[in-house]
């Protein structure tokens, strides 16, 4: 009888869980705004929490990485340990398991063996597409097209969800100003406002209007906070910024993300002012969960809790677990600190049960929002995985996004667009026939060598009457990353000796009307852990470039890269330069669309390109200083050997047509702090081709309680203007536009004079002024 009762008790608990899970079938509707929790979901969360043992609560805060296949974990010690924890219901999430079969098998372990049968949530780094690969985020940001950015995230979410995964660690919304930092490729560049609006577009694309729908996934705003401002561009490095820079530059994209209902936030590897972000109570508890009233889940970055020992902030992993939970870090990704030490820390009164329960509730809340309690296998549909991933329709969108992400940096002799009746063309360079580099880093499940190469794209655009020559010229890197390789350990060994192919490439260039020279970076030169001191053309690429240019002046550089590069020599000599980033699956076709005029380029730079690496970190919205830049003076804030300005500034990008800005008007020149005014400008397409233009609004607060930047992006609109047409564009300027985090340590508008510019880049010269009064 005793044995029988022991068996019945857990069954009764499961009945309670199932009853609470199924009694409200529509509870997951409209639960995407974490600032306003759904009361019915909160009741369900509380009902589950009340049934949980301590080890099960702690287990919900544990995230493991798994690499096994559909048959389940292997027999290695590590996998066996994880398997036992799964069976006990002491794991909350798994990452790096990808396929419906593998995820179903792993979920089954929990659902068939654990006491309470709380489903796992599965995560994966889906950064710029799942199987259909889109441009790297920095490149996609160059489109300044929020609709197409949202659409690419929607497709990525659809493919990800169809493959069984419910959670992505994207978008990265770190403001990043240093081209040396390899991870600059993963965000939207140097500007706070641009990061904010692009981050929100991506979040809305991933999460849609309802996380419970089967084609949406949870997004993750990262890295909280300051990760993109590491000293000297080194990854994981120390961040030294003041309180006002934190609030005015770093935090606004995260505030926008939480306001948009982002489901999760990832904290950062770096420290700020001596405190690692993972243990920063001010950031996580006071601001994120307190001031912003956000009730989503905070996940650590990989091993960042345990890494606080290396920082010299925690004496051991137990101390690190104490610091992290107290600071508001909810889920431990691969540190094994929470599972080992939270129970003891609770018993020793170094953490509280209220803190623990709050973290657990955030995990459970996400799972209810995703509908996993209603159906743990809702994402495990083999038909969807077969029919909704890497489709023709998805590839068409990838091509559309890619062509809109290309930036025309130079077209001095109007060499572009090329005629499709051209008789001969040379496609030269180490990246000209690459089908892998265009996929970029962080390519999720993108298939190795699956991208359309530049050479293929050119051939697809031309008929048989054009002679297309191809020569590699030089090799960029010696090793090649293959599927399954550990990209973090992969060496970057550049070919600095073999120049035997240059002479052959020169001969090809001599007999061609135009040369397309595909140079730049290997896909794995940028990304996590990929910081570099040299941002020029590595290997023998510069030698190839100069040799080809010496025999044929009609050279178009097709630049493939994940960071701003030093293009000083090219800018002085080469007539046409196309910034093509790593454009994804349809790269070659998209580039050819621009080269041959099927699409008029409309991209604008989300980052400043330097004249020399010595300018880094470089960004347009600098402070004026007490001795502003003036080369006519001996002492000023600049360089003696170079201009201070960018080679290609933030917001810059050319078109095959020309745009003229005139008639900048304000409907008022004086407003109160709570008032608003409208600024309008006439934009004329003065060329012969229809084109899209990104009209950009910049403002400077001339005098503040803290010093203000020389100008700040405050709005933009991307519009199509037909040849010869003039359109009047209007921007509304109000308190939201003008406020900043002041010396009073609050967000407010300060009275005074403001300059305003509207134009096609951050160096717009059409300017006027207005006044704000009390």
Structure tokens at 425: 């063309």
Cα–Cα distance measured from residue 723 to residue 209, given in angstroms and rounded to the nearest whole number? 38
Helices (H), 371-453: 382-387, 392-405
Q: Checking DSSP bridges between strand 167-168 and strand 121-124, what pairing results, if any?
A: parallel
Decide if 301 is catalytic.
yes
Catalytic residue among 145, 178, 301, 332: 301
Q: What residue has token string 């006071």?
A: 286
Positive or negative torsion for Cα 34, 37, 38, 42? positive
For residue 672, the SS3 value is: strand
Q: What are phi and psi of 441, to 5 degrees?
A: -85, 165
Q: Burial level of 379, CB count in 10 A (0-12/13-18/19+)?
A: buried
Query: What whole-number distance in Å separates Cα of residue 606 and Cα of residue 560?
Result: 16
- Cβ within 8 Å of residue 453, ≥6 positions away: 432, 433, 434, 435, 438, 587, 588
509: CB partners within 8 A, 6+ apart: 426, 428, 515, 548, 551, 552
- Return left, alpha or beta for 70; rule: phi > 0 is left, psi -120 to 50 is alpha, else beta: alpha
C-alpha–C-alpha distance, residues 396 and 392, integer Å: 6
Contact 516, 456 (CB under 8 A): no
Report the candidate in 406, 412, 757 with the shortest Cα–Cα distance to residue 586. 406
Displacement of CA 560 from its chain's centroid (Å): 18
Which amino acids are annotated catalytic?
Answer: 301
């Amino acid at each position: 009888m005793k044995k029988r009762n022991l068996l019945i008790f857990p069954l009764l608990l499961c009945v309670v869980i199932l009853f609470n899970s199924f009694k409200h079938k529509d509870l997951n509707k409209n639960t995407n705004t974490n600032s306003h929790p759904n009361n019915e979901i909160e009741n369900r969360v509380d009902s589950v929490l009340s049934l949980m043992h301590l080890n099960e609560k702690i287990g919900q805060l544990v995230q493991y990485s798994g690499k096994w296949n559909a048959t389940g974990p292997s027999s290695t010690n590590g996998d066996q340990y994880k398997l036992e924890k799964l069976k006990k219901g002491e794991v909350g999430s798994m990452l790096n398991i990808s396929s419906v079969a593998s995820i179903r098998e792993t979920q089954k372990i929990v659902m068939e063996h654990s006491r309470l049968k709380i489903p796992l949530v599965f995560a994966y780094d889906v950064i710029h597409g799942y199987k259909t690969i889109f441009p790297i985020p920095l490149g996609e940001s160059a489109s300044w097209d929020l609709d197409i950015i949202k659409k690419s995230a929607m497709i990525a979410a659809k493919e990800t969800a169809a493959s069984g995964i419910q959670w992505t660690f994207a978008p990265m919304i770190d403001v990043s100003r240093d081209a040396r930092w390899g991870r600059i490729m993963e965000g939207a560049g140097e500007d706070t406002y641009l990061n904010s609006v692009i981050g929100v577009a991506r979040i809305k694309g991933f999460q849609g209007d309802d996380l419970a729908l089967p084609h949406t996934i949870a997004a993750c705003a990262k890295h909280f906070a300051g990760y993109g401002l590491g000293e000297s561009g080194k990854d994981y490095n120390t961040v030294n910024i003041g309180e006002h820079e934190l609030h005015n530059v770093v935090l606004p994209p995260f505030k926008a993300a939480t306001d948009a209902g982002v489901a999760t936030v990832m904290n950062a590897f770096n420290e700020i002012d001596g405190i690692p972000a993972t243990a920063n109570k001010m950031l996580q508890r006071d601001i994120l969960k307190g001031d912003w009233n956000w009730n989503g889940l905070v996940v650590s970055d990989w091993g960042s809790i345990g890494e606080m020992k290396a920082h010299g902030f925690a004496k051991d992993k137990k101390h690190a677990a104490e610091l992290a939970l107290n600071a508001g870090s909810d889920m431990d990704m691969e540190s094994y600190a929470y599972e080992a030490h939270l129970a003891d820390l609770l018993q020793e009164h170094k953490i509280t049960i209220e803190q623990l329960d709050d973290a657990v509730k955030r995990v459970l809340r996400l799972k209810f929002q995703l509908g996993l309690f209603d159906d743990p296998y809702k994402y495990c549909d083999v038909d969807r995985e077969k029919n909704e991933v890497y489709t023709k329709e998805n590839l068409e969108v990838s091509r559309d996004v890619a062509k809109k992400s290309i930036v025309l940096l130079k077209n001095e002799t109007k060499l572009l667009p090329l005629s499709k009746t051209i008789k001969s063309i040379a496609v030269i360079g180490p990246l000209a026939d690459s089908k892998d580099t265009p996929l970029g880093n962080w390519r999720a499940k993108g298939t190795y060598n699956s991208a359309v190469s530049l050479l293929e794209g050119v051939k697809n655009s031309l008929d048989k009457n054009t002679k297309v020559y191809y020569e590699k010229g030089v090799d960029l890197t010696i090793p090649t990353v293959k599927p399954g390789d550990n990209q973090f350990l992969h060496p970057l060994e550049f070919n600095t000796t073999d120049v035997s192919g240059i002479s052959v490439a020169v001969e090809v260039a001599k007999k061609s009307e135009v040369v397309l020279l595909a140079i730049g970076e290997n896909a794995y030169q940028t990304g996590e852990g990929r910081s570099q001191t040299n941002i020029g053309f590595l290997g023998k690429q510069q030698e190839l470039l100069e040799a080809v240019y010496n025999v044929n002046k009609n050279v178009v550089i097709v630049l493939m890269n994940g960071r701003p590069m030093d293009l000083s020599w090219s800018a002085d000599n080469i007539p046409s330069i196309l910034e093509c980033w790593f454009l994804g699956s349809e790269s070659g076709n998209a580039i050819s669309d621009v080269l041959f005029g099927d699409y008029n380029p409309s991209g604008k730079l989300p980052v400043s390109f330097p004249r020399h690496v010595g300018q880094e970190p470089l960004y347009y919205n600098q402070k004026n200083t007490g001795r502003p830049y003036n080369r006519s003076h001996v002492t000023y804030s600049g360089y003696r050997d170079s201009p201070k300005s960018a080679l290609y500034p933030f917001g810059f990008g050319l078109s095959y047509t020309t745009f003229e800005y005139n008639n900048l008007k304000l409907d008022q020149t004086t407003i109160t702090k709570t008032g608003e005014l409208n600024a309008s400008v006439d934009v004329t397409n003065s060329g012969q081709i229809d084109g899209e233009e990104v009209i950009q609004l910049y403002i400077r607060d001339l005098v503040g309680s803290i010093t203000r930047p020389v100008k700040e992006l405050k709005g933009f609109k991307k519009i199509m203007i037909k040849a010869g047409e003039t359109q009047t564009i209007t921007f509304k300027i109000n308190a939201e536009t003008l406020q900043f985090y002041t010396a009073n340590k609050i967000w407010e508008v300060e009275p005074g004079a403001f300059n305003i510019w509207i134009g096609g880049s951050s160096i717009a010269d059409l300017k006027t002024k207005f006044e704000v009064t009390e």
